[in-house]
Amino acid sequence: MMVSAISAQTLNVHTDYVTYQYAAAEVGDVDYLSGTSLIALGKSFALKDVKSMQVTDEEVTPNQVSVAYSESSAHVKVAGNIAKYVTVEVSGAHVSIVQSDEVNDEVGEISYVLSGTSADGEFYMSGSYKATVEFNGLTLTNATPVYSGAAVCVMDGKRVNIKVVTGTTNTLTDAVSGNQKACLYVKGHVEFKQKGTLKVVGNYAHAIKAGEYLTIKNADIQVLSAVGDGVNCSEYFLMESGSLNIAKVGDEGIQCDVDGDASTGETANHEGEDSGNIYITGGVITVSAPRSEGIESKGAMTITGGEIKVEAYDDAINSSQDMTIEGGYIYARGSNNDGLDSNGNLYIKGGLVYAIGARSPEVAVDANTEQNKKFYFTGGTLVAIGGLENGSQLSQSCYSTSSWNTNTWYAMTLDDQTIAFKTPASAGSTLVVSSSSTPALKSGVTVSGGTEILDGMIFLNATTTGGSSVTLSSYTSSQGGSPGGGGFPGGGRPGGWW
Amino acid sequence: MKKIIFMIFAFVFMVSHSGRIQAKTNEYPYLTFVTNEGATTLTVASLSIQVDGENLVVTNAEGVHTFVLEHLQKMYFSSSSSSVEDLNSTVKEKTEVYNLKGELVGTYANRAEAVNALETGIYVLKSKSGTIKIAIR
């Protein structure tokens, strides 16, 4: 019988700010050359740079680089199996990691795990292969840029997973000057994953920018402020789940543009897609854009699910091409323009849409009639303050009232439930409602129960009391887009741009 | 027969799909330094290495060893040495034995008694002196 102790022996090669970790089972021969250098798994070290080596029981996660920030310094650990493929530089808490072009499918994807806190640090990575960046409890402010002004800059044109590690809160703040495109910038396509929280401040340009497509699944992303857009990307934007809260932006809340000169025309399964399209299938999006549009697609806009609340100075939700809403809950208020604005056709086929447009000539729901496009309304529940675009094709009956009370709770009773909604402080004159059953409307109700959605702007299955009935008239497409009074019965326009 | 095949498959899967498991299930308690003069094998317990001028100074639980850098050719981990530690004799305290499921297999008067009583497999031995994982083959 042979008995022996088992442990995960690891050879740690320490340089100034980097520890290279080699699993004993994998390292093989570590060669010494002429008394001046040693080579481990193809990585050459000058012995003068090696501060020490230790054997520990710490386990090594292959293909992983971890960066632990600690105020004015950062320590990097590199798994031995990928050590020869990365070049690490550390200056204070400013970390640069360059992947060599030799990284290939045999090595696989490298993961960069970032944690800790620094009031003057950054993470810069460049490479040309798929990578994963994990935010694992990271608070990073780039006060005095060394590699870029971004807090996190990933100059990698491939797919980059950004895992916001579940249970962690992470905050990124970029420098107030520099040439960075965003506080969190990724040259390639970004896929946000896991259920942690990521807060981002964009002090110079956008808060988050992807050079290519950007998708969000599960993560809780909060743009606290941005000089430019909250989220900016190319190719396409896809929100599947999680939450995205954008506030205090200088430009659009979310903007997606075509990356190339023109759309590739490919949209099936998003393979090869470069359309500028925005897709929202789930999750919660909240946008406050006090100077520009809330959500802007340079291609098409497709909403099939989720909960979307947008308040914007300009159009709340805008698309350069067709806009299609098939599901979800949507609140879209453009305080000085349209609620929903499609420069192509606009289709509402389902979901619950509460759109608010400014006074005429703006409307709540606008399609590009100037270019012979139309608003096609075939299904769903609609509340539109400010009216609909003239010439709309309304397959589902709509009803309206020419005046409404500001800052007032209304109850729209349908066959199966009552939906309560709160009116804004100002908007266009005509209030249009529609659902699959003929609605009855009351003004000035008190809401005492129900399911709150859209940040409290709507209650589903609402319990209401009081109020006075509102007389509704059939609404025709010819009524749309016409100027009219009303909309401000409660008093003058409030101060500020809202 | 089915059970045996499954176990083999599971082992292969674990080794080939997880570097962590691979590192854990291999044992390399020795580090051998090869110089122009020959090889020296040291236990890795508390082992640290410093470059000191022309020399490589290795410190472990057994003492300090110095190698002339220019004479060094390589070092490598190994699972065996001429001075294999006698695990049976190192701990004379009450020892609890657990299997890899974390289930208590038994409690023994000392480690030697435990080792002698165990069948082939991997176990965790817990005593006042510490906890080790062992393989009995």
Instruction: List CB contacts of A495: < 8 A, sequence separation 6 or more.
Output: none
Nearest to A190 by CA among A256, A237, A138: A237
Tokens of A271: 């393979």
Query: Residue B106 sits in which domain range?
Result: 87-136
Q: Sign of torsion, CA A449 A452 A458 A460?
A: negative
Q: Lowest-pLDDT range, A121-125, A155-159, A379-383?
A: A155-159
Q: Looking at residues A415-439, what average pLDDT do you find?
A: 96
Distance CA A314, CA A250 (A): 12
Q: Is a pLDDT exceeding 50 seen at residue A494?
A: no
Tokens of A307: 């909960």
Looking at the partner chain, which of B23, B69, B122 has a beta carbon nearest the beta carbon of A8?
B23
Distance CA A223, CA A253 (A): 9
Tokens of A226: 């941005």
Q: What are phi and psi of A256, to 5 degrees?
A: -125, 130
CB contacts, 8 Å: B136 with chain A: 1-3
CATH number of the CATH domain containing B61: 2.30.30
Instruction: List CB contacts of B87: < 8 A, sequence separation 6 or more.
Output: A3, A4, A5, B111, B115, B132, B134
B18 lies in a domain?
no
Q: Residues B126, B97: one domain?
A: yes
Residue pointed to by tokens 């420069």: A343
Q: Residues B60, B94: one domain?
A: no
pLDDT score recorded for residue B127: 75
Interface touch A9/B74, C-beta < 8 Å = no
The distance from CA A274 to its chain's CA centroid, rounded to whole angstroms, is 18
Q: Residues B73, B91: one domain?
A: no
Q: Is a pLDDT exceeding 70 seen at residue A469?
A: yes
Q: Looking at residues A45-74, what average pLDDT do you find?
A: 96
What distance in Å separates residue B118's CA from the closest CA in chain A?
Answer: 10
pLDDT (tens digit per residue) in A342-378:
999 999 999 999 999 998 899 999 999 989 999 999 9
pLDDT higher for A492 or A199?
A199
Distance CA A46, CA A33 (A): 10
pLDDT score recorded for residue B121: 76
Q: Residues B49, B69: one domain?
A: yes
Percent of chain B with pLDDT over 90: 30
Tokens of A229: 């857009």
B40 lies in a domain?
yes
Tokens of A341: 């604005």
Angle (CA) A273-A293-A208 rounded to 5° is 55
Interface touch A30/B115, C-beta < 8 Å = no
Q: Residues B102, B67: one domain?
A: no
Tokens of A416: 């199966």
B125 lies in a domain?
yes
Tokens of A237: 């934007």
Q: Residues B91, B126: one domain?
A: yes
Distance CA A232, CA A289 (A): 14
Q: A154: which strand partners? A: A125, A186
Count Cα neighbours of A378 within 13 Å in the Cβ-side half-sphere: 9
CA dist A291 → A226, A294, B13 (Å): 12, 9, 56
CB contacts, 8 Å: B122 with chain A: 6
Interface touch B75/A30, C-beta < 8 Å = yes
Q: Lowest-pLDDT range, A310-319, A341-350, B3-12, B122-131?
A: B3-12
Q: Residues B93, B72: one domain?
A: no
pLDDT (tens digit per residue) in B55-98:
999 999 889 999 999 999 999 998 876 433 445 445 677 888 98
Interface touch B23/A23, C-beta < 8 Å = yes
For residue A24, the 8-state DSSP code is H
CA dist B71 → A31, A34, B33, B50, B60 (Å): 12, 8, 10, 16, 21
Q: Residues B73, B96: one domain?
A: no
CB-based contact A276:A258 (threshold 8 Å): yes
Largest CA distance in chain A: 96
Q: Residues B72, B99: one domain?
A: no
Q: Model pTM?
A: 0.83
CB-based contact A63:A110 (threshold 8 Å): yes
User: Which residues does B contribute to its contact with A (CB < 8 Å)?
Assistant: 19-20, 22-29, 31, 44, 47-51, 54, 56, 68-77, 79, 84-85, 87-88, 115, 122, 132-137
Distance CA A246, CA A437 (A): 35
